[in-house]
Amino acid sequence: MGKHFTLTADDSHQLGAYRADPAGLSKGGVVVIQEIFGVNKHIRAVCDRLAAEGYTAVAPALFDRTEKGFECGYTPDEIANARKFIANPNWDAMLKDTQAAIDELKKEGPVAIVGFCMGGSIAFLAATRLSGISCAIAYYGGVIAKFADEKPKVPMQMHFGEKDQSIPMSDVEAIKAKRGGDSEIYVYPDASHGFHCDERGSYHETSAKAAWPRFIDFLKKHLK
């Protein structure tokens, strides 16, 4: 359904991206931000699924500044290798590349951003620091708690798993305390990290199927 193409950030860096377009008139754009596994089969599938919902989706390759075209799966060795990209993350550079994807989608109408894991953290930072988006959705963003004093400039929705080993519930409670008044925050009692990804062992179908309609309804509400 989708195609690969090139985005250009405002510092002239060129990065790869994947784009999926709806069959009919677009309801707006959604920037889809990757996990540490790159713009892989799963992230492309999320884009395709959003296109089927009527949105134009673009997933920028945020690791292209370090390694062009990186993508991988979920074996223990692949996960260990992928962690190198976030040992010392350059959030500013990744946000610069995220802004390029937002700008690319503006001609489709209002733009949202959704991210998973590392991408969830970037979606939150996009809501607080970037321009041109109407709403943001974060699935299990691991460092949101660190940045939770920053106030989103647009409506924000967050999804967490209560059994997530990498995001303790104390972090989620801290996020709720700081951002609960201005953000929708959902916790799924039987879900762990990565519960949305049906290619991972941590996939939790019930939670994933509960979160997706909330996400789509949020888009419908804020992309008008």
Catalytic residue from among 47, 117, 135, 197 = 117
Type of residue found at 81: N
Q: Could you confirm whether 171 is annotated as catalytic?
A: no
Nearest to 185 by CA among 150, 136, 219: 136
Catalytic residue from among 164, 196, 204, 222 = 164
Catalytic residue from among 159, 193, 196, 222 = 193
Distance, CA of 43 to CA of 23 (rounded, Å): 19
DSSP letter, residue 137: E
What is Dmax (Cα atoms) for the chain? 44
Type of residue found at 222: H
3-class secondary-structure state, position 191: coil
Q: Could you confirm whether 193 is annotated as catalytic?
A: yes
Give the residues across from 111 on adjacent strands.
29
Distance, CA of 87 to CA of 77 (rounded, Å): 16
Q: Could you confirm whether 72 is annotated as catalytic?
A: no
Nearest to 152 by CA among 176, 177, 132, 135: 135
Residues that are catalytic: 117, 164, 193
